[in-house]
Structure 1
Amino acid sequence: MASDGEEYYSGGEDYYTDDDVDSNIDDDGGENWQPESDDDEEIGADKKAVGAVDRYRILTEDEVRARQDADTAKVGELFAIPVGVAAVLLHHYKWSLDELQDKLFSSSSAAAATGVSLDVDPAVSVNAHPLVCGICFEEHAAGEMRSTGCNSHFYCLTCWRGYAHFAILDGARCLSLRCPDTSCSAAVVRELLDDVITDADDKSRYDNFLLRSYIEEGTKFKWYPGRGCSLAVEFIGGGGGDKHNDYNQDDVECTHGHAFCFRCGEEAHRPATCETVVAWAEKNAENSETARWVLANAKHCPKCRLPIEKNQGCMHMTCRPPCLHEFCWLCLGSWVEHKDPNFDSCNVYEQAKANGEATDDKLRTCTSTSGGQRTGRQGREH
């Protein structure tokens, strides 16, 4: 028999004691079995988060600008061209070094299509003798005029300055600025702009357009969309799979706590896919159209606040059960206190409208501000 404090559990020919059960040791002398804990899940989540961080790098504006300058200098050294010409080439090919090299090495005319030449150095020409400016038609002494890569059309510094100023005011298209001569497609390079622009605001705006182009037109960088956030994120890759899968559904967060999806640019939405988010947005847009229709074609019952559509009958309205509130459709006042015996007009509304104190739009807007209920009902007209 079992001794005190010890029980046996019958299971066929085998029997086990409480000590055996509590030991959690298998018959083969294996390791102790331990139930799964939340710690394992937390470790897995931490590893996943670290993997996501490794795929991205957070950059400040200064770091982005340094990266842009490095890419431009690299292209300049590779093809032995001025950095201004290199910047034009990179901008044309969406700041992709790989695509730029493929195009330039495979086609001798690829550079010309961008408005620059790989054989022109320096990028800016200065007149060696007096010339007449093609814009102001005044003669200028040697050294007082400039020409961009075409080396054919010379303009004075004042005209170049005005030309650049209005181009920069026009927006980011100044990055694709061409020679003022309408028959010439030579690109205006950075060296020329630095030479002629004296206004600090113009220089700052141009620099900002160039920096934004590097982020917004490329594929490896994106701005964080948070209000007032000037940080950018660089996609590094990793994690296997093709490029599409690398970008697919990756939520990233900056040091300011702004999170978004790198692939679609919307707010962070893991585990929902980008396609699901798009479908949801389209569904919400449809609901918005419905809400606008209600505002335009319905009013709220002054008592229960549910929307009512009036499609026929007089101005004496009675809300559906259980409300049963009676009111005037025009002035929304209680019908009990209504003074006009004519069911097709309203003295209160007409008088207010005549005095400019109320309009149908104002009444509708005012009565449409109740919260949240989207189930409509028709009132009963008398």
Structure 2
Amino acid sequence: MDSDDDYFEAEDESSLVEDEGRVSDDEGFLGDTMIVPDDPLGSGSKEEDVYPFVCLSAEQIVELMLEILNEVNDIVNIPHTTLRILLAHFNWDKELLLEKYYEYDGNPEQIFKDAHVISPFKLKSTCKTKGQSSRTDAECEICCSSYSRSFMTGLNCGHIFCKGCWSQYLRTKIMDEGMSQTIPCPAYKCEIIVDDEIVMCLISEKKVRMKYQHLMSNSFVECNSLLKWCPAPDCHHVIKVEYRDRQPVKCQCGRVFCFECSESWHDPVLCLHLKKWLKKCDDDSETSNWISANTKECPKCQVTIEKDGGCNHVICRSQTCKHEFCWVCLGPWDPHGASWYNCNRYNADDAKKARDVQQRSREMLQRYLFYCNRYMNHLQSLKFESKLYALVKRKMEEMQQLNMSWIEVQFLKKAVDVLCECRQTLMYTYVFAFFLNRNNQLLIFEDNQADMEKATETLSEYLERDITTASIREIKQKVQDKYRYCDSRRNVLLNHVHEGYDKDWWDYLDL
């Protein structure tokens, strides 16, 4: 190869239809700094608290990799091919690499051993044929065929194979197993990592070469805690931040998401609780109502049981339980004797304990359904707002034909923007409240939530029902007053929650 940087050669990807990873060579936003507006979702943040970030294209990801390589190479003077393996070993943390490199008092051989690479100070990495000046043939250890030395190659570990076997081995590792930075030597029990120079020398198929480059870049992004893929479908941009935090960032494609967890921006709920909530929704939402109406929990192991016969003598089918109990009172079956149909042991202590456990389980289910229904209601309403945007756009055009200026009709779009922000915030307030124990601060939060919800519904009604060209001048002031009030109440609610985070007001349930 002519240069260590040939790995980053630019190739046309237009013919690649299948998913080749998240990196694309599409032209687009080339590094202009994008700062989240003072209030990207109405969070009420001050200007000095704005979270800075940069939206990077595929080309800039490669440039960033090269920049790190060059910075470290200027210090340690190690070939790029070896240095890439070392950086990958330390998750592209150049400070950690340099710290470990100089930790061994000028004898960094251990760091190369740990990274499964041959030290360049012992042997120079090369892609040229090993021993090609020799006229004798050699046997490939994979296909057991003899070839001239010119057709054999390998790594500095000394294991050589025919180029055909090398090519097939690398293709399998890249295309089938999705490996890039950790492909080992094919020799038995050899852990030396194949460098990208060898890969690009031996792989001629364009599709495989592009896949390898994608995987290398993807691995670089995933290893770096300050980089994050945009979660929007078919978006190939990366967000780079100065420090990691639970803050909203906005991609060039328009997607606003939380940098910490990559979910849609979810203020006021924490990432940890949102993750638990989404998992619970995935597990429970479709079956919760049916479970509540048709099942009970085993009093011993709490596994959910459906009774499929008329007999009230129930035996838990769990292999580790086999508990026998009464379906009516949930007490142990043995004391019922021949009078089971009277359930004459209904008031026994064991039965009471079982009923208490059952009751707590049902209460938790009902509690989940309460918050889930309200969460889903706002989520559904938020999906309908796209239709409202279309309706408002038509109304704005009609108003302009009635001698109203473009500026005068912008209040409608602003009102819909605020409505969507309030819907999204309200949706996540129910997730936030689900995880809380009741205390005085929660009561204040629920009052703020109720006030905001009432104002949001009123604004929604104004926009969906009361906006007509005949009454526009009368309704304009009402809409403006209401969306300003909604935005104000939203900020009050969020500020109260954030203050609670700072002052440790919130008491979380152990769910």
TM range (shorter): 0.5 to 0.7
Q: Structure 2: how far apart are the matches of 1:84 and 1:170?
A: 23
Correspondence 1:102 to 2:108: no
Q: Structure 2: how far apart are the matches of 1:268 and 1:100?
A: 34
Q: Structure 1: how far apart are the matches of 2:73 and 2:51?
A: 32
Q: Tell me the TM-score normalised to structure 2 length.
A: 0.45
Corresponding residue for residue 86 of structure 1: 83
Corresponding residue for residue 161 of structure 2: 155
AA at the equivalent of 2:215? F
SS in 2 for 1:143: helix
Which of residues 184, 188, 206 in structure 2 aligns to 1:200?
206
AA at the equivalent of 2:222? E
Over 3 Å counting, the alpha-carbon distance change for 1:135 and 1:270 in structure 2 is: same
Q: Structure 2: how far apart are the matches of 1:41 and 1:195?
A: 51
Instruction: Please report how far the alpha carbon of residue 63 of structure 1 lies from its aligned counterpart in structure 2 after TM superposition.
Output: 0.7
Instruction: Please report how far the alpha carbon of residue 258 of structure 1 lies from its aligned counterpart in structure 2 after TM superposition.
Output: 0.7
Corresponding residue for residue 34 of structure 1: none
AA at the equivalent of 1:254? C
SS in 2 for 1:110: helix
Q: Tell me the TM-score normalised to structure 1 length.
A: 0.59
Instruction: Please report how far the alpha carbon of residue 190 of structure 1 lies from its aligned counterpart in structure 2 after TM superposition.
Output: 0.7
Gaps of 5+ in 1: 1-39, 238-246, 299-308, 314-371, 375-382
Correspondence 1:262 to 2:265: no
The answer (yes or no) to whether the contact 2:230–2:251 under 8 Å persists in 1 is: yes
Q: Structure 2: how far apart are the matches of 1:64 and 1:293?
A: 49
Instruction: Please report how far the alpha carbon of residue 294 of structure 1 lies from its aligned counterpart in structure 2 after TM superposition.
Output: 4.6
The answer (yes or no) to whether the contact 2:87–2:97 under 8 Å persists in 1 is: yes
Task: Report how many residues are paired.
Answer: 255
Instruction: Please report how far the alpha carbon of residue 185 of structure 1 lies from its aligned counterpart in structure 2 after TM superposition.
Output: 1.6
Over 3 Å counting, the alpha-carbon distance change for 1:143 and 1:46 in structure 2 is: farther
Over 3 Å counting, the alpha-carbon distance change for 1:148 and 1:74 in structure 2 is: farther
Q: Deviations over 1:282-306 (max 9, x none)?
A: 55356426437459959xxxxxxxx
Q: Structure 1: how far apart are the matches of 2:170 and 2:43?
A: 53
The answer (yes or no) to whether the contact 1:60–1:232 under 8 Å persists in 2 is: yes
The answer (yes or no) to whether the contact 2:227–2:239 under 8 Å persists in 1 is: yes
Gaps of 5+ in 2: 1-37, 296-305, 311-372, 377-511
The answer (yes or no) to whether the contact 1:125–1:149 under 8 Å persists in 2 is: no
Corresponding residue for residue 188 of structure 2: 182
Q: Structure 1: how far apart are the matches of 2:252 and 2:44?
A: 17
Relative to its length, the structure with more strand (as a share) is 1
AA at the equivalent of 2:50? A
Correspondence 1:57 to 2:54: yes
Which of residues 161, 165, 171 in structure 1 aligns to 2:171?
165
SS in 1 for 2:188: coil
Q: Structure 2: how far apart are the matches of 1:219 and 1:290?
A: 37
1:272-291 superposed matches below 5 A: 272-285=269-282, 287-288=284-285, 290-291=287-288
Corresponding residue for residue 71 of structure 1: 68
Q: What's the C-alpha RMSD, in Å, of the aligned pairs?
A: 3.3
Corresponding residue for residue 321 of structure 1: none
The answer (yes or no) to whether the contact 2:58–2:236 under 8 Å persists in 1 is: yes
SS in 1 for 2:181: helix
The answer (yes or no) to whether the contact 1:221–1:234 under 8 Å persists in 2 is: yes
The answer (yes or no) to whether the contact 2:229–2:237 under 8 Å persists in 1 is: yes
Over 3 Å counting, the alpha-carbon distance change for 1:297 and 1:232 in structure 2 is: same
Correspondence 1:145 to 2:186: no
The answer (yes or no) to whether the contact 1:224–1:233 under 8 Å persists in 2 is: yes
Larger radius of gyration: 1
AA at the equivalent of 2:178? A
SS in 2 for 1:127: coil
The answer (yes or no) to whether the contact 1:224–1:254 under 8 Å persists in 2 is: yes
Q: Structure 1: how far apart are the matches of 2:246 and 2:258?
A: 6
Relative to its length, the structure with more helix (as a share) is 2
SS in 1 for 2:55: strand
Corresponding residue for residue 127 of structure 1: 130
Q: Deviations over 1:236-277 (max 9, x none)?
A: 13xxxxxxxxx3321111121111111122211123322342
Q: Structure 2: how far apart are the matches of 1:113 and 1:85?
A: 13
Instruction: Please report how far the alpha carbon of residue 175 of structure 1 lies from its aligned counterpart in structure 2 after TM superposition.
Output: 2.3
Q: Structure 2: how far apart are the matches of 1:132 and 1:296?
A: 71
Instruction: Please report how far the alpha carbon of residue 312 of structure 1 lies from its aligned counterpart in structure 2 after TM superposition.
Output: 7.6
Instruction: Please report how far the alpha carbon of residue 233 of structure 1 lies from its aligned counterpart in structure 2 after TM superposition.
Output: 0.5
Instruction: Please report how far the alpha carbon of residue 136 of structure 1 lies from its aligned counterpart in structure 2 after TM superposition.
Output: 2.4
SS in 1 for 2:118: coil
The answer (yes or no) to whether the contact 1:84–1:123 under 8 Å persists in 2 is: no
Instruction: Please report how far the alpha carbon of residue 46 of structure 1 lies from its aligned counterpart in structure 2 after TM superposition.
Output: 8.8
SS in 2 for 1:126: coil
Corresponding residue for residue 32 of structure 1: none
Q: Deviations over 1:181-216 (max 9, x none)?
A: 113221111111111111001101100100100111
Over 3 Å counting, the alpha-carbon distance change for 1:41 and 1:64 in structure 2 is: closer
The answer (yes or no) to whether the contact 2:51–2:247 under 8 Å persists in 1 is: no
SS in 1 for 2:124: coil
AA at the equivalent of 2:166? W
Instruction: Please report how far the alpha carbon of residue 84 of structure 1 lies from its aligned counterpart in structure 2 after TM superposition.
Output: 1.5
State percent identity of aligned pairs: 24
SS in 2 for 1:58: strand
